[in-house]
Structure 1
């Protein structure tokens, strides 16, 4: 059982702050590091793996500083997001390289086992240059698993995988979690995190925005104010009706024959609109959410 602890961790590059004052604890099981692209997820994972030193704060694994400790490195496997691999090597040679770097006593057997875990035995002796994107992802996972780490860090691991490969990888990670290993994977896709993660840590603009199980995070996201553009057969009448409901914060008439509406809860609003339209003989021509990007959702969490 291993626990990663980040205590007030920051990382900056010159005047650019990539991670700002993040504190979190990651224990056994699967933790999803969720946030939009550019949020600082890769920087956090690199510091967890000991590849990057924090500019401030500490990162420890079971009380030992991660950075610069070879024995701690032996307990960690990292799957980076970068696509650059040694394309002139075969898949087997690539995984064996990491086995040799870890000085495993049975490097050949460990290599074969890791490749089998990701279902690439049939392609192991092909050059990586011939691999699809999904296969390249899987051979990176095999390389990270070859020394049987207790902590596995994966940066956007499902990129390029087809649905069958994705299900297989999720099953593999879930099995490792059941063994008591500590697994952290980053994603900007809510559905991936929902399917796999026990714990969710939300990161936005380098800051730790929220923490909890997926139902808690989903509730924070869906209960925030939501904005919509609505076009109907009678915008003024619809505006008056909407303003009577307590779930609607505000309504504004646009010049281009449309309403801008801000509502508290997506579910309540989704039930309200068809009921009002049907009971008052109003036709809805358009209902478009205007702030459903991950950036807007997560930014709301940061500002709470």
Structure 2
């Protein structure tokens, strides 16, 4: 089996490459540009991946990559994936996260692989928007109404819709994974969860004295990325292409994530170490995202293996090892009174 992963340099790309390699796949990864700063990291961590140069905004390069790899499975993970960044660069987000999906689909069609390549499209819970009128009691599922509240969510909704259109118009095997928040030790520090765990570890090690965050009240359905990429693979092993929600079915606030991360390093009162920054507040915030993965449970047999405490512990311990803080539970960082603690 041969698989092509766009977005190979991201969190999910790394987990997926590892999973597919363990299953005996020949793995190809698409990297943007000759001098991509993340290329060396991918080559070092995943020497078994054959890297192909290309860009989801460049149709010609995509066709070349598809023709070179001849994938049995194509996982489209490429995106401008940071919600906050999408407000600052909505046009680029639309081009990469939205139209990029169309370009990937067209590349498979132009290469005449529509009958042989199964394609996974990375959709997102951000398409739902978290508003009261469209929020089911048990959480969002595959039939829930969409109401994106960010350029990222809107671009993803276009990608989700065009993927379904190609499934119906051309008979392509295209499955869309509507994944709720999934984190892990490979998450970039620009994302709030890794920003929190990295800060907790660094504060415990005496390397920084505070962390700046935005709103602490939003609720998210958090799971472990390794569990969720296994679900991606399961979707492409299913008899028919379809849409599937992957979620834990429970929510925590950002504040609860902060408390759990600081507790992991032995800090019971996190408030003196957290500042709330107005610069990090979003023009439109999603209040709550809760998913219902019943369909994936029933049809794919998918289950998460890492619970919320295990997720936080895994991330914090990784960051402690990164900063040499193996014995931080026996130390207490110097407390400072900072402005703006919890929201």
TM-score, scaled to structure 1:
0.32
TM-score between the two structures when normalised by the length of structure 2: 0.29
**In proportion to residue count, which structure has more helix?**
2
Q: Which has the higher contact order (CA 8 A, sep 6+)?
A: 1
Bigger Rg, which one: 1
Which is richer in strand? 1
